[in-house]
Structure 1
């Protein structure tokens, strides 16, 4: 019906407008990428490929489906950075190209058939380009596919919508915001109230203003066959799926999405002196395969078969035990006594911890004390980033504060930041990626700009790394956490002249070593191996320059529960672990020992 088509169009436009606000263009919009949920609402899929490949530059295939490509995209063609015949880099596709794709999809929806099926790809592209020579694109498309009778029966609103979407010149094509407020959607706008961004976790605004609960709370857990797992977020389910033995790469290999062959088979059969090769066809494994693979939850559900519905709705009582009740509570109690590394890989234990922390964090700051209590047991890795923010007392409009900071104007520190970033955690794929470097640059620069009384010291990038890794898709939270962490644990460490602060810190550390282990302290003093030689990188970066990230996460889980003196204890503990080797060696051997840490 016309109203149903308008509803679908309206929801797709809302999704595209939201993407546009975040600087993204779909570019691969097609019927197979518009999904419908159980209630018939639209969910856009496969919208990140154009963005994550630097507008298609990083891949050897065009992004988009020929029948749905906008004319300006076809006219521009596919140009690689290595193409020296191109005078200048082509402009990336804008959001209006998605509007054309939507117009073709809606046209097919109205006609009940796919367009251009009888044409080869080259002919399809040529036909779309030639539409610039006609006055009424909708009528021409209908004539070409024998659908004039259907067009005549369509409502005026539908015809108007098709014409607005299928405007050949991008400059004359409307933007999403204008189209969403067009009168042709007057019948459906009442069904869709204006989007209200939910209050942030650390915002002072009430997050439960629109909360509705059944009169009898027990009804929430009454259904024995309820699919409670389906109510959890996709991030949680995927994380638990991996813990239960799921292997994404293995699944893709089994479905032949990932294909590999011996390197020798990729060599050409014949190679000329000028570099031209023959006898080697294009490797299809490097081309786009947009097959959707459904991951089975059978293994995960089997692993969680003993978990009752009440485990998904823990009551946040003040006298609550550290673990929610479960049909397999004995197993959970046993798991709680196991080493941390084993607990973090136990599927059922992590489910209970994730559900509990999720509930507690949603009640932040009112349940702040209970968050601290549970964090002393352990912190679920999935929620570590946001839990750290709660432990650091982050609050307020963090996104607005971060957006207000000028991160573009050049400053003297830029050069040092550019030098430090590539050397920071080079072994980590996420942080060493181009996007990781860009995020590092913005967060570090935001901190420098917003703290004019402090200066950038080498090592600040290492200090930023854990927060950025855990909040990779939320730079504002990474910045807020770092801004709260430094005053608490590194007060005055980043002054322009911080020598007296560091010297005082090292003096206290020397006294602690002497108090806890006089023999070791005397030996280190006798050989001249003083804290100034090894401990400055420890405390200036809170050990992030010394240990790999996976160890820093566990170390900081404990650090954030202590006061500003706790780093001294960590330093003494490191020396205690190395005590025998330190006592048995002289100055040169100790220098070599600490240079090889960890």
Structure 2
């Protein structure tokens, strides 16, 4: 934080315990770094022997001069200190071995001080040596020694630890009315008078011990094997035994689980082991991430879900090779956007956060020459920078993997075709799951172009605060590029009652300041619709996962499909439903009776298009089939025709009649016959 002391005017040391060379070689590394700690140990031993702190009444500058004066002392520094503190009798009564040890620690020349190895071999510490038996080691090793200080601090805070509260108890932080911190006089040039220094920002060398009693109470009952959970197990008995050790919090809300020290302990220990084995354990990481992701390891888990390389050195090298300094035409827009990007967050609003975000954005623009910088890319980058604040290369690698998967071709200079197709699939998904809402938005002409472009261009990172984005993306990264469409549908579902009672102007005002969204319910509903929607309903031509060649014919077909209010379903998905979930499918064949009798899908219904009355927006004109449709909310309604049949008006009629889950077979009945791998799904005369 201080550039190893170069950015501040005071020493970042415990003054009385620092060796003389620390002050002589300020800002320069010593040749014997461990020897300075040996000197500090010697001073501590002197205080313990003399039973009083050294030079307690002196100010900082006087203490430093006192320590430097010891350089003129020819040996026997311990004796000199004892005389200065009127403790010569204690010095004389001390065991000679202890005198010799302390003097060896307080040698003026660093190279002549005792080494750590010789110190540990001293006979004075023989009774402290741990025996070499395995059981003795197991008893003597602290439970928490396997934790990093970051992990230990995380669990300590979850157990109720509060640094600020402890510092307030010790008087190191004092609060007062804000008005008292204002200057008495401020000149126009910025000079202030009468403003006292805030003691909270001043250096204080006192050490405050943080209590860990609450953490011991929460984790103290854990056994040794809890720290080493099984990852792979071929034994059902062992697996059953090991699973019983896990802390069951399945019924708790996510916000509670993230604050439960014991639950987070089990999750972090498990994920840490899985991350050690990445990329070979990626499938296990994905499986566990479906339950939840511990916040402490979220950055590493996200990187694994995005298939980011585990070779940090190579990732860092590739990032360093990208030119991030040369001025470009996009710099001006980047500099305008960054100060507005999640500035309520302390890290992202800092000067260092601004610099890091700018470097990552410039690197992305430089690396992806076929794309341009669009507003919103800064919001996309912010979550990755927040999780990898001290590793810009890792944050850049995550962004570089995220964009092709979820925002393929979104950052083209002319992205109109991509955006139009995406919004068309969104409208069709709304109609598929909620026809009344889709009809109402269509009637008032409130189209997704008016509100949803910032949603999808930034994957909601511009719409929601960061703490909600983290939870949202935990599930987003487990889905494919269609999952954001389901998130958008879930947001509309939460606002449904207000939307249904609002006109165009009211809807515009509603989305200009988006109301509070329950992100946990949003995630839950998104996953439900995502898992119950055939993949082809949301499939896009401009999709990195489709693998479809973008030919002029495909573009023309895409434009026709964009104009439809209902989605299409692929022959493969229809075959899958017929073979595996026939009870969930209602196939309506609108071909003429002769074609239907010749060959049709098993258990499909024939409603010739010529027999349908299109003047009325009701199902009564369909006879018994209409009554059946009115009670089939849980079925997929697939309209099947051929190229000579009007497959536009009939599904539109069903949509106007508020029939959910309506879709049209892509390519007609002939396409299904071509793709079907099993003739058992057909009946024929």
Please classify the TM superposition score into its range, dividing by the shorter chain length. 0.5 to 0.7
Does the alignment pair 1:387 with 2:301?
A: yes
Which of 415, 418, 425 is 1:498 aligned to? Answer: 415
Deviation at 1:351, TM superposition (A): 0.2
Which of 220, 223, 228 is 1:305 aligned to? Answer: 220
When the two structures are superposed, what TM-score results if normalisation uses the length of structure 2?
Answer: 0.58
Q: For residues 343-399 of structure 1, give each alpha carbon's deviation from its aligned partner in whole angstroms, at most 9, with x where no partner exists.
A: 111111110000000000111111111111100011111111110000000014211
Aligned residues: 459
Which of 397, 403, 422 is 1:486 aligned to? Answer: 403
Larger radius of gyration: 2
Change (3 A) 1:325 1:63: farther
Change (3 A) 1:221 1:403: farther
Distance 1:487 1:343 in 2: 32
Which of 291, 295, 299 is 2:206 aligned to? Answer: 291
Distance 1:252 1:109 in 2: 25
Distance 1:443 1:272 in 2: 40
Does the alignment pair 1:230 with 2:145?
A: yes
Unaligned regions of 5+ residues in structure 1, if any? 1-22, 28-49, 75-92, 129-137, 151-157, 166-183, 192-215
Alignment of 1:12-27 (within 5 A): 25-27=3-5
Q: For residues 572-594 of structure 1, give each alpha carbon's deviation from its aligned partner in whole angstroms, at most 9, with x where no partner exists.
A: 11111111111100011111111
1:458 is paired with a residue whose SS is coil
Change (3 A) 1:594 1:318: farther
Does the alignment pair 1:440 with 2:357?
A: yes
1:291 is paired with a residue whose SS is coil
Change (3 A) 1:148 1:419: same
Distance 1:241 1:252 in 2: 16
Which of 263, 284, 288 is 1:374 aligned to? Answer: 288
Say which is worse superposed, 340-349 or 105-114, in terms of deviation.
105-114
Does the alignment pair 1:337 with 2:251?
A: yes
Q: For residues 218-261 of structure 1, give each alpha carbon's deviation from its aligned partner in whole angstroms, at most 9, with x where no partner exists.
A: x7999467532222111111111111111111011112221223
Change (3 A) 1:301 1:324: farther
Distance 2:165 2:307 in 1: 41
Match of 2:616 in 1: none
Unaligned regions of 5+ residues in structure 2, if any? 47-52, 78-103, 119-132, 517-685
Match of 1:133 in 2: none
Say which is worse superposed, 98-107 or 565-574, in terms of deviation.
98-107
Deviation at 1:108, TM superposition (A): 6.2
Does the alignment pair 1:145 with 2:72?
A: yes
Which of 489, 492, 495 is 1:572 aligned to? Answer: 489
Does the alignment pair 1:535 with 2:452?
A: yes
Distance 1:261 1:450 in 2: 50
Query: Does the Cα contact within 8 Å between 2:233 and 2:239 map onto a contact in 1?
Result: no
Question: What is the RMSD computed on CA atoms of the aligned residues?
Answer: 4.5
Alignment of 1:452-531 (within 5 A): 452-531=369-448
Deviation at 1:293, TM superposition (A): 2.1
Say which is worse superposed, 554-563 or 306-315, in terms of deviation.
306-315
Q: For residues 163-193 of structure 1, give each alpha carbon's deviation from its aligned partner in whole angstroms, at most 9, with x where no partner exists.
A: 9x9xxxxxxxxxxxxxxxxxx99x99x99xx
Does the alignment pair 1:249 with 2:176?
A: no
1:332 is paired with a residue whose SS is coil
Query: Does the Cα contact within 8 Å between 2:226 and 2:245 map onto a contact in 1?
Result: no
Distance 2:239 2:393 in 1: 32
Runs of 4+ in 1 over 3 A off after TM superposition: 61-74, 98-125, 219-226, 261-278, 280-286, 318-321, 323-331
Deviation at 1:294, TM superposition (A): 2.4
Does the alignment pair 1:544 with 2:461?
A: yes
Which of 193, 210, 232 is 1:317 aligned to? Answer: 232
Deviation at 1:162, TM superposition (A): 8.4
Distance 1:578 1:428 in 2: 27
Query: Does the Cα contact within 8 Å between 2:230 and 2:242 map onto a contact in 1?
Result: no
Query: Does the Cα contact within 8 Å between 1:493 and 1:501 map onto a contact in 2?
Result: yes
Distance 1:305 1:124 in 2: 43
Query: Does the Cα contact within 8 Å between 1:308 and 1:327 map onto a contact in 2?
Result: no
Query: Does the Cα contact within 8 Å between 1:221 and 1:310 map onto a contact in 2?
Result: no
When the two structures are superposed, what TM-score results if normalisation uses the length of structure 1?
Answer: 0.66
Does the alignment pair 1:401 with 2:318?
A: yes
Query: Does the Cα contact within 8 Å between 1:324 and 1:352 map onto a contact in 2?
Result: no
Distance 2:135 2:492 in 1: 53
Distance 2:308 2:136 in 1: 33
Deviation at 1:461, TM superposition (A): 0.5
Change (3 A) 1:347 1:325: farther
